[in-house]
């Protein structure tokens, strides 16, 4: 059986990741086949009303009002 298949109970959603940046980086590394993902830029966005993190995977992440990670689309 291929190791590409996810075993039941092993899948974790982004919203279930701990609220620390290190927890996000660990999750992103697992999701990208072990390839390290780095923080490229972080700043407070007045438009979003929160701190956002641009990552080397090309996506931007932020903690929502419930302190859960989310992907920011189109500058909020």
pLDDT digit string (tens) for 14-23? 999 999 999 9
Calpha distance 54→2 (Å, rounded): 33
pLDDT in tens, 36-76: 999 999 999 999 999 999 999 999 999 999 999 999 987 77
State the Cα–Cα distance between residues 60 and 54, nearest whole angstrom: 4
Q: Name the pTM for this structure.
A: 0.82
């Amino acid at each position: 059986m291929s190791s590409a298949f996810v075993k039941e109970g092993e899948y974790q959603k982004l919203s279930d990741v701990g609220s620390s940046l290190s927890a996000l980086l660990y999750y992103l590394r697992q999701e990208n086949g072990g390839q390290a993902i780095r923080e490229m830029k972080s700043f407070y966005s007045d438009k979003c009303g929160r701190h956002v993190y641009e990552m080397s995977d090309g996506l931007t992440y932020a903690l929502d009002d419930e302190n859960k990670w989310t992907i920011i689309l189109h500058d909020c």
